[in-house]
Structure 1
Amino acid sequence: MTNIMRASPPGLSENEAQETGALFVRAAGRAMQVLAAFHQASGPLSLSEIAARADIDKSAAQRLVHTLLTLGYLRRGPDGRGYLPGIRILDTTLDLLRLDPMVQKATPVLLELRKTVRERVDLSLYDETRLVYALRMQSKRETFYATLVGHSVPTFCTAGGRAALSVLPDDAARAIVTRTPLHAYTSRTETSVDRIMDEIAQARVDGYAVVVDEFVQGEVAIGVAIARDGVPLGALHVAGSLAEWTPEDFVEKVAPLATEAARAILGSL
């Protein structure tokens, strides 16, 4: 089953990163690779598993794991078996959220929007091939994946993602879609690049994107980009259940409110 907890982040290999200049610190990069080893983990990882996932030798992994364990960025798993991310990572997460200008300005706007629409309202940050959720205002129906800040989704098949891509020139948006793994998350996920680009073009015309059943079965979602000077910063999402809404009714009620909220966030930045 395709993972809907985390879309694969864009990034460079270690060799590619080193080619960016002499200022690149290899040891720091490898420490980040160790932390990134947990991105798709379903439980504690052994030292061998960390080495394999981080693509480093076991000796280097042992030294890095010991350092990160000592600093609190890793911890032992239950019964002392394996390793898990440590609590100090949450300190860094808090710093990102509290210091990000868009998150600061969007919080009261999303709270008010949530009271009005009484459906799930989210704010995500743009990361090219994916969006990373920074704020999540829950509705009455929730699953575990929908409650987590830091959960990420692909841009190609989500409402917020297509809205964000619609801000870009067509060739730039196509380049991002083309280098994205086009997984079918449901039976209705669109995986044709040309048809995805048609949906992005429609979002460019409408000022918002609509996705029905493509990422989460039984869900209709509207996404509005938050962008400045042609650069997407993130997106506002509102999602509802198809058991309670038709797509047409959801768009009629929610699209104007979501668009107004996104405009208010951008205007306050």
Structure 2
Amino acid sequence: MKIVLAHGILGFGGGLLPFGIGYFNGVRGMLEQQGHEVFAPTVAPLGSLDARSRQLARQIQAHWPGDEPIAVIAHSMGGLDARRVIHRDQIVGNRIKLLVTVGTPHFGSPVADAVLGRCPNVLAHIPGWLLSALQHHAGALPDLATRDELHDPDCEGVTYLEVACVRKNDSWLATSPLFGLSRAIGELYGPNDGVVHYQSACHASRPPIAEWSVDHGEAIGWPSGYGGLKGMAAVWKPCDQHLLRYRSLAERISSAVAATEL
């Protein structure tokens, strides 16, 4: 199966960092070992939804010309990008038969609201590096603000699967730097991963296929506890549980595609 890994805001595709480090830590290699063809494109890290989705569609078609079916695993804003490609691009959109979104803010994120000046009680808890990056280039922010409806509704002939994430209650030593932000979001929306609240990561008309007990970064294999030591260790050896989660997603994709072809 051809699988696209679509990165989120401030993300990147494959080949931009040394040692083969990828945004989806260790996932590409694991999927390729299972026999899948994998493409990890890079789109504008802080671009608008329109700009990112156009870039995503162009790169997929250039990498895999033709009309073979494609599945997408997307994290965060990458899920919005893929939904827009499916909804608006007549060539690539028609090729995407299955989309798995992980921690995607389908109904927006309080973090975007805060940077836009709509949620001051959350603003104070955003890590400085993240706040600075978002304030210097806010092209994506209006598309990530909280809202009541999807940007792009489901299309017929496509299987949509959602994974929601909820930050773990760790000890102070193991706590993610997103802890304060998660707590502030929790006061407004309840369970969340430190960036996206649970209900936003879900589809309004169906339950998620899985709920992962991770924060927004750990959802793609980059834990940040123990003063960053867990993240440093993950560079050399991605967490087995993280890879198992994505292996399960790949199995779900294969089963869904096989059922469609019958």
User: Taking structure 2 as the reference length, what is the TM-score of the superposition?
Assistant: 0.30
Indicate the structure with greater strand content.
1
Higher relative contact order (CA 8 A, sep 6+): 2
